[in-house]
Amino acid sequence: MWEPLLIVFGFFIGIIASMTGVGGGIFIVPILTFLYGFLPANAIGTSLTTIIFTAIASAINYAKQKRIYYRTGIVLVITTAPGAYLGAWLTTVIKPRELGLIFGFFLIFVALRMIISLFRKKTQDKTSTVKSDTELLKSGKTIIIGAGLSFFGGLASGLLGIGGGTLIVPIMMVAMQMPIHFATATSMFTMIFTSISGVSQHYQANHIDFTFAVLFAAGTIFGAQVGAYASKKTSGQNLSLIFGVMLMIAGVNMILKYL
């Protein structure tokens, strides 16, 4: 495959990643494994490196929209960053086929959860009154639960190269009662630090192809700006539906590859 095509892939991935707060790894990893012959661990390390740039670009735009809960995000980073480092280390001991299957089934699980919630009409547009960043921090139980669960979001980030948003966004929405528009923005902010933590371990394991990461990032940076703008024009229900369908497609493709 022609490597500069990664910029085009990156642009569209950046749009969807920024809109849904997932980072983009759910698409980058399959592209690198299916089209460019990467081993899962190398695809994951390269993906996570790209996500650093995507997250920064998205967070800048979301900051202008005043949709990021900075203090809540920093609290969550306390658990997501160590989780990402541990997850990245696990890629050095898990076999490629097992890693690919774990990734695929994980994506399908999250996708089904999101889609089923739509059919039950439990959309995030119907979330109770929005709490401010300060009010959320004062709810000690909510923060403890959110931070505890977010560790697994960080673990998934380092292990699967997904940035962590695939778990962290649902955690913010369900456990912390944050509307999806705030959850996606805050997720992209925390993803900066989570991804850096995971990348530090992937770099030590020599899992990163920086040429591919930079080409992807060249597209995702611009796509992230479009996605951050488009998300404020899109309903929470539609965002959840986009999120679920994209995860399902990526998960099925990954399982078929490694079965």
Q: How far is Cα 102 from Cα 76, in angstroms, rounded to an integer? A: 24
> What average pLDDT does the segment 120-148 reach?
70
Mean pLDDT of the chain: 83
Can you read off the two tokens belonging to residue 208?
Answer: 């990163």
Residues whose CB falls within 8 Å of the CB of residue 206, separated by 6 or more in sequence, listed in order: none
Integer Cα distance of 102 and 121 in angstroms: 29
What pLDDT is recorded for position 251?
77
Identity of the amino acid at 213: A
Q: How many CB atoms lie within 10 A of CB 237?
A: 16
- Average pLDDT score over residue span 233-242: 72
pTM over 0.85: no
Range 122-144 average pLDDT: 68
The DSSP secondary-structure symbol of 138 reads H
Q: Classify residue 191 by burial, with Cβ atoms within 10 Å: 0-12, 13-18, 19+.
A: buried
